Amino acid sequence: MAKTVLVVDDDPTQRRLIQAVLEREGFAVAHAQSGDEAIQHLNAGAGVDVILLDLVMPGIPGQDALVEMRARGFNQPVIVLTATGGIDTVVQAMQAGACDFFVKPASPERIIVSIRNALSMGSLQREVDRLKKHANGRTTFDDLIGASPAMLMVKRLGERAAKSSIPILITGESGVGKEVIARAVHGSSDRAGKPFVAVNCGAIPENLVESILFGHEKGSFTGATDKHLGKFQEANGGTLFLDEVGELPLDIQVKLLRALQESEIDPIGAKRSIKVDVRIVSATNRDLSQAVAEGRFREDLYYRLNVFPIEAPALRERKDDIPALLDAFVRRFNVEEGKSVVGAAPETLACLSAYDWPGNVRQLENAVYRAIVLSDAPYLQPYDFPAISGVAAPPPEFETPVAPAASTPALPTPSTDGGVPAADQPVRILDGRGHLRTLEEIERDLIQLAIEVYAGHMSEVARRLGIGRSTLYRKVREQGLEGLVKGAGEADADAA
């Protein structure tokens, strides 16, 4: 998904010039001709990733517009544009919340570098905020990614359930993000900031389940050399998330039911019960009602846990959320791996959206992680997801010869006997990583090849290339090929 840059400038010529530069680099561009219009654009909920803000405009000046944006909670990175680069102007802009500035007119390279740096800093800040919320137990439903109908239903139900202490059972396939929903329930409740303890019930050895959940006293069994509190006491005052609760043994289910009903636990070897204040959120990828029918799960515990069910949708049921999930994973892995990938190419996004994702969000996350590590291009390509797209990456050295065709005429080497050309040298269109080389590089190689093929006869070279001789000599000088022309020994080469 292309990043959107909001260009705020009262000069339409400047806006068009900047738009041409940005669109050439794959960015989407939105316009505003005043600070008021920019704030209205943001208030309307339009997606904006970076703001280019002119400081001198009619109406609200850029400086005041920036202050107003920050006061209204718009935290997009802002790059200020100014016609004068006075130190006072720069300091005031930075103090107001700008991340960079440049003096108009700026070179295209300066604009692009500034925007890419702003995007990187914005991604880093968002990742820091996400990790802080995660560590402090303050993840909310606003942090859940997705605006599909299925996810909106999950958010609506979760926000209602979070306001009470009602037990919640989150169902759904493996990899759909059940723990993320549980964390959002905790962060949206009055227990936010208190402990959030997650336990994968299917990963605990059966002989240790009781000790890990409820704790034990020192000496209560062989090997119990110290007192252990258990997950219930660790989560006291907060939330205990029991993932894959259907994997619990039947004897532990009895103790869990008592803990839920009486709000007290019995650690192994303890002389008396211990009161605990814990909110239980459980999750499973199995059909617990079928497990109850088969006698593998207690019916009374099932009804106790399944008071408020929330079904987490599979990714194939919410494909509209794939672009947003992809952007979030790209931002995170850019920070973790020190990369600067902008996003995915349109054909890549179409390929990912058409896939069924049997492993759900977890599979998408791991696929993006691999693609980020291996990619060196600004945009992820279909061959960065070979298992999904079926497209193999290009070989390290991929060359495209100049083939005889109407659009790219062949340059045969004349021979004195009128026979077959002596050589057919290719002009590389792609670089070693399979990306297009610049037009200047291809032009230089083509001119050099033509001079060599036609033995320095510049009139013939110009005719074959379809340009005038004066234009050819000018390009020879610009490309630094004068020595090659003189070395060919043509009589009029000195004109170059």
pLDDT at 426: 60
**pLDDT tens by residue, 82-113:** 876 567 777 887 888 888 888 877 888 888 88
Q: Any idea what the Cα angle at residue 151 is, between residues 244 and 319, rounded to 5°?
A: 100
Amino acid at 262: E
**pLDDT tens by residue, 421-451:** 334 446 777 666 666 778 888 888 888 888 8
- Helix, strand, or coil here: 96? helix
- Candidates 62, 60, 107; CA nearest to 82 is 62
What residue ranges do the domains of the chain occupy?
A: 4-130, 141-313, 321-389, 394-496
Q: 170: which strand partners?
A: 283, 310
List the beta strands (DSSP E) in 36-107. Answer: 50-54, 78-82, 100-103
- Helix, strand, or coil here: 429? coil
**Residue 399 confidence class, pLDDT cut points 50, 70, 90:** very low
Rounded alpha-carbon distances, angstroms, from residue 31 to 97, 113, 192: 21, 20, 40
| DSSP codes joined into one string, 464-478 | HHTS-HHHHHHHHHH
Report the distance separating Cα 331 and Cα 374, nearest Å. Answer: 15
- Candidates 478, 475, 472; CA nearest to 492 is 472
Kindly state the tokens that stand for 298: 């207690």
- Candidates 3, 7, 46, 9; CA nearest to 30 is 7
Topology classification of domain 141-313: Rossmann fold (3.40.50)
CATH assignment, 321-389: 1.10.8.60
329 CB-contact burial (10 Å; exposed 0-12 / middle 13-18 / buried 19+): buried
- Candidates 37, 35, 43; CA nearest to 60 is 35
CATH assignment, 4-130: 3.40.50.2300
| CB-CB neighbours of 255 under 10 Å | 16
Q: Are 330 and 373 in contact (CB under 8 A)?
A: no
- Candidates 331, 328, 327, 334; CA nearest to 349 is 327
**pLDDT tens by residue, 145-199:** 999 999 999 999 999 999 998 999 999 999 999 999 999 999 999 999 999 999 9
Q: Do domains 4-130 and 321-389 have the same CATH topology?
A: no
